[in-house]
Structure 1
């Protein structure tokens, strides 16, 4: 199947927003207001788009029009230069309207800043200018549970070969992050490449129950060449990893950073479900007439008020925890981006445990809220036309990414023994 054969949404439907959002927001509050505007646009037909399951070309263009792809980028290249805690809140806001697009935004913000974490300062500057000045959307062919891509050295280039079962956003991306192992070394290399090239072949097989507009299907990588100069964090002369870039705890911040991306779109999806359900309850749910304490309106029903209050309280608590973790991580970046060796393993580990806590709580609360809202909306809310089911399907799909049981165990060792986790692909 070629790219032209894949059904896709039409970017022209969002043409008017290019002029409407021609200027970037200039404060943190304005950026979050922009994210809420995007969520409102997406929420208008989210259920229909979810069921149609078309490649989200239009939705990515909407993100480009909004400026949100540039939120973390340097101002000197046309970015918003906001810290990660604002990035996380923006992801959450977009996910309230459409979980798939909130996820795409989150993955993009992570992959577009990869060079800031594992690249040299020169690489980070060059790649940030490349991404932000072109308003590129970035996907990633990085799935640690698959076999690593094989990398071979060929003169001044490295060559990637292999396949990944999952590849979020790649089909609709401008750039793709590749990651693999250099032959006979065991050393990993990250690099960004242009997506539209013959050696990147998408399977177009993403047809899952949730997050249906994320294009998270498989990809084959065949003889994709990258200059050694673009091997993030590597010394081009010696062709070895730079100790001051890749052999320090700072480089491993990539993993807790994306784990907190996950938790924030879980939280946004759950908050969106509660908001969507509450509107449905007020307008369409009927009071139960056979309980012996009959009410005229569903909003007078004790069990409905009790459930909404309980869901609301737990989501508020999860949001407070997510904000605290976001602040902790943003502080590490602020303090150590210009002094990477200064970050200790203990500091990195303690922030990872804040983030693990958020993962546990948002998984538990998100699944509970997105399934529980049916109890307070009624049988008619199960109609596909209503689309309330998409919130649960979205959270259920991604919370299987890595078993939350291991996060609970990790937190148990931290609480009981004071042990911070060793960096891994999931911690």
Structure 2
């Protein structure tokens, strides 16, 4: 089944064109790593950065199943740029969920108008950033953040930092503000063009209005939907990677693979073991897709409840999303690691770049341990306990 389409035909056309642009150079860019400046600019020109911005702020006001369907479509060809595209909408959602009305008006209107490309320096596990109060009610920010996806070449950053009481605050800052340095130090085996490296903050002036809230993070059940959206993004990326790997393997099997001599088959596509593997791939992806449809419907329903969302409704959405994430992660790792069993030795040539699917899935699936998702799901299955809201659940 295809992902839920964007509602605007112009946006659907722009998404298809962007996917073709990314696909044309994905293998070479994966090999090169670094910042995909030309491709980021193509995303800027696409008109798709404002999909999650409400219409009354000048955006498209798209629903989450359609936005995450677009993420999934891009992830089939380039999961690094799909990651950055997805996190743009996560940052927009963070402003919607954490910010006060004046902040939402200023930041989201500017996002749609300019448009602004957001980067992420909100890593709740990295508590090396701290706020020191100023006499005028503002703050000074110092410290370091790791895993800052999309920070390079961004216009705005979402940053987390502890105030003197130990309370985690979320800030919305211009990336070019004095004292902010985005380092070019991301060199991991997968997701090589997500620029998920380090950002340092040295004596950065933070005005009171730069601190999002109220409600801020976890100020109410609605604000705790951000982790549900983040987990839905991860699962959508995994499903897109699995689908991209399957499409690449299928094309290779049909056009270039040779049958094993003991099979008795005239073509690789007639080999019974090859067919069995493809059957496994279909079951894994179809299962993740069905769970994804259910999870994203629950996410959208919770989102539409707004500030009236109850803890129980939030928890039920979190269970559905965690289930989708577990299935999506498993499907991606299985299909991307086994695709060579249906394509053969010729498929390992570096020019094909088929290894990138597994490297990307393996790198991204370590975002937070799947074991802890399964533990939460086990507790819900056994006792009915809903997941506690946190930055990873």
Contact 1:148 1:179 in 2 (8 A): no
Where in structure 2 are the equivalents of 1:309-328 lying within 5 Å? 309-328=279-298
Residue 212 of structure 2 corresponds to residue 232 of structure 1: yes
The secondary structure found in structure 2 opposite 1:406 is: helix
Residue 233 of structure 2 corresponds to residue 258 of structure 1: no
Match of 1:82 among 23, 46, 62: 62
Unaligned runs of 5+ in 2: none
Residue number in structure 2 paired with 1:343: 309
Query: How many angstroms apart in 2 are the aligned matches of 1:232 and 1:325?
Result: 28
Where in structure 2 are the equivalents of 1:396-411 lying within 5 Å? 396-411=362-377
Query: How many angstroms apart in 2 are the aligned matches of 1:141 and 1:387?
Result: 30
Residue number in structure 2 paired with 1:7: none
Residue 268 of structure 2 corresponds to residue 268 of structure 1: no
Residue number in structure 2 paired with 1:67: 47
Task: Point out the more displaced range, 313-322 or 73-82.
Answer: 73-82
Residue number in structure 1 paired with 2:219: 247
Query: How many angstroms apart in 1 are the aligned matches of 2:77 and 2:20?
Result: 6
> Taking structure 2 as the reference length, what is the TM-score of the superposition?
0.94
> Taking structure 1 as the reference length, what is the TM-score of the superposition?
0.87
The secondary structure found in structure 2 opposite 1:401 is: coil
Contact 1:367 1:396 in 2 (8 A): yes
Distance 1:254 1:177, change over 3 A: same
Unaligned runs of 5+ in 1: 1-24, 235-241
The secondary structure found in structure 1 opposite 2:224 is: helix
Deviation at 1:347, TM superposition (A): 1.0
Residue number in structure 2 paired with 1:207: 187
| Aligned alpha-carbon RMSD (Å) | 1.8
Deviation at 1:148, TM superposition (A): 4.3
Residue 286 of structure 2 corresponds to residue 286 of structure 1: no
Where in structure 2 are the equivalents of 1:150-229 lying within 5 Å? 150-154=130-134, 155-183=136-164, 185-229=165-209
Deviations 1:140-188 (A, max 9, x none): 11112212420122113222111012110101211111111111x2222
Query: How many angstroms apart in 1 are the aligned matches of 2:60 and 2:276?
Result: 41
Residue number in structure 1 paired with 2:344: 378
Residue 74 of structure 2 corresponds to residue 94 of structure 1: yes
Query: How many angstroms apart in 1 are the aligned matches of 2:6 and 2:378?
Result: 42
Deviations 1:366-395 (A, max 9, x none): 100001111001111111111000000000
Query: How many angstroms apart in 2 are the aligned matches of 1:72 and 1:49?
Result: 28
Contact 1:31 1:90 in 2 (8 A): no
Match of 1:334 among 297, 304, 310: 304
Residue 87 of structure 2 corresponds to residue 134 of structure 1: no
Structure 1 outlier segments of 4+, above 4 Å: none
Residue 275 of structure 2 corresponds to residue 305 of structure 1: yes
Contact 2:221 2:314 in 1 (8 A): yes
Query: How many angstroms apart in 2 are the aligned matches of 1:36 and 1:361?
Result: 26
Match of 1:108 among 88, 94, 103: 88
Contact 2:160 2:169 in 1 (8 A): yes
Contact 2:122 2:160 in 1 (8 A): yes
The secondary structure found in structure 2 opposite 1:172 is: coil
The secondary structure found in structure 2 opposite 1:414 is: helix
Residue number in structure 2 paired with 1:296: 266
Query: How many angstroms apart in 2 are the aligned matches of 1:257 and 1:425?
Result: 10
Contact 1:163 1:218 in 2 (8 A): yes
Query: How many angstroms apart in 1 are the aligned matches of 2:145 and 2:246?
Result: 35
Contact 1:32 1:86 in 2 (8 A): no
The secondary structure found in structure 2 opposite 1:413 is: helix
Residue 105 of structure 2 corresponds to residue 125 of structure 1: yes
Contact 2:71 2:85 in 1 (8 A): yes
Query: How many angstroms apart in 1 are the aligned matches of 2:298 and 2:25?
Result: 36
